[in-house]
Structure 1
């Protein structure tokens, strides 16, 4: 893994098995199989997975006692055998915040909230953000870009009293002091001059204050990290911004104006191709380097500067590897297009989308 201070190994596999070295979903959904999951959350009590390809969210109560364990609850479908867009259209980010379940219903351009963790199948949400009501599903509430609408909100985060949304299609990050249940205007619009503009890279080109596809967020109260997937980089803001301003940190590029991406060559420890996920555990930062089918780990949390190297890699045997399942077969320690990731203490959950599974890795320091 790179040093003797950190070791990581897979501990649990959720989703179907991989006969013949492939993990394929069945023709009809069930309680076990997943189809292109893009989001995952875990804590001591639950594991929640955005089973994106099946347009549903699955919940496991407690730590699964074995691999391929069946889910306990399904949301967005009447039962475990139903599929297709309904309540959800490509759900992505999921998290439990202060006992409440949040789901980024990305292609319905909204976030859905349950006041308590659902214990019944197909339980309806209690609140919606980004739309006037639960019937609304149009981008930007059916109008032009504004402060209270979303366009493909793929990710969100609750950090040190701030609620952030990666409003991906509007190329911005929105932030509220507290959770905006009253649908009030955001306290922060990051990446655009105001709440009524949504140009790619602000219409001026890649810079220290622009986004192409902001996709996921993490932070610790000292720094806000934004996975700017379309520019193949992660930006860091120290301290977390209270108004639009440039970032102090860029990972994945040599400087703040770069958006370099070159597939099928040795990638090394400094570059990304479409980093769609990000997670934080103490001073350990994890980045889902999605198109390189790996997760990069940074020890000694970087907060400023550019082009810092990762210290460890998950999913490949070394930093030069970038193949889907290492160009071989699905194995316990391989990845294929990992998307959402989540740290809970020293467990890292990975939505291994291309392998139609979620893998939970144990990360230990010695």
Structure 2
């Protein structure tokens, strides 16, 4: 492994700028039955570390995409961290995944290894076309290859660039006699792996979420459950009556381009992007087409209005939870919404917004909050974020439009 002199540095949190700290008890961490320490995020909080750029401040020119061991070109989806602490980030437009032996604790550290390319200077489509979301769980790693119409499964999780070829979980072409072919993925955007062996895929282009109760070992192993549709023969958006035609309104059991999935094996959350909402199942689904229990982003299950408020989104994306907090990227409003407690009520308001100073502003890279793009990024602005990942006392944000990943330290009080 390459030694990039990754020494420990002290974490420094920005003083509150807009909004106040919001405190909660996070799941995970601790040991011996001890209660984990409370943690907090603040509205418009500055990031502590940036990956993919030399620093936080830069003109649009040097925020452009690049290649090499220290650069990205439109990284997308949620990064993932292995049980051993290795970090994986999809460098989407360079058709590769960059691997880091540890989560960087200083700006612009280069990756240690690459998946999908033979070196750090190649960026043509090969194994991956446009890799996006990454998930790790139960000793496996799944990668949603959006434009490749595939999901790849590594078992065990790779630890360097010499790993064997992963298993493909999609047919190359759909069955012409079956327009909703159960073994074909159409623009898969997000994946989730639980610690108890469940695999969840957002099959976005077919407006469905596919669930395997045990991790499959081949593309021919059909999923056990489907959400958004009543069976594997339907794939139209918002088709409550399953007549093959889109209905006028969504419902608790329909989807319209799901773009994010999260599960702890007991609960499930889905970012239903084109319905401008997130659906939550309080207990893990056991039946095809099972309706969700909770909706956020909308007041109820039968509306799909885009809005800008604590309750609303415009295109929610690759969401994540640490069991207590829920974070949802809202790419087109250039922000990440955070709930301090896992939502249990329809239309429940977010508590914290990152990337903006309040819930009303929506412009990219708008540090002075005057409603327009400042022309450069800062440590607290965002440009089209598409993925988030909680890990221990950190939140990682994939700031896609700024070609970087930000790391925010959650304060322990």
So what's the TM-score if we normalise by structure 1?
A: 0.90
Give the conservation status (yes or no) of the 8 Å contact 2:99–2:160: no
**Structure 1 CA distance, aligned partners of 2:320 and 2:176?**
30
1:69 and 2:134 correspond: no
**Structure 2 CA distance, aligned partners of 1:346 and 1:184?**
37
Residue 93 of structure 1: aligned partner: 133
Higher strand share: 1
Higher helix share: 1
Residue 206 of structure 1: aligned partner: 250
1:150-177 per-residue CA deviation (whole Å, 9 max, x = no partner) reads 1111111123442111111110001111
Structural mapping, 1:89-238, within 5 Å: 89-121=129-161, 123-131=163-171, 136=172, 138=173, 144-159=179-194, 160-182=196-218, 183-202=220-239, 203-204=246-247, 205-238=249-282
Give the conservation status (yes or no) of the 8 Å contact 2:98–2:113: yes
Q: In structure 2, which of residues 38, 41, 61 is the aligned counterpart of residue 7 of structure 1?
A: 41
Q: Which moved more, 1:354-363 or 1:319-328?
A: 319-328
Which residues of structure 1 form unaligned runs of 5+?
Answer: none
Post-superposition shift, 1:22?
5.2
**Structure 2 CA distance, aligned partners of 1:86 and 1:165?**
22
Flag as ranges the 4+ runs of structure 1 deviating above 4 A. 139-143
Q: CA RMSD of the aligned region, Å?
A: 2.1
Corresponding residue SS for 2:63: coil
Label 1:22 to 1:285 Cα distance change in 2 as closer, same or farther (>3 A).
farther
Which residues of structure 2 form unaligned runs of 5+?
Answer: 1-18, 24-39, 240-245, 367-372
Q: In structure 2, which of residues 294, 310, 314 is the aligned counterpart of residue 273 of structure 1?
A: 314
Q: Which is greater in Rg?
A: 2
Corresponding residue SS for 1:230: helix
Post-superposition shift, 1:280?
0.4
Q: In structure 2, which of residues 348, 361, 365 is the aligned counterpart of residue 325 of structure 1?
A: 365
1:250 and 2:295 correspond: yes
Residue 92 of structure 2: aligned partner: 52
So what's the TM-score if we normalise by structure 2?
A: 0.81
**Structure 2 CA distance, aligned partners of 1:221 and 1:83?**
35
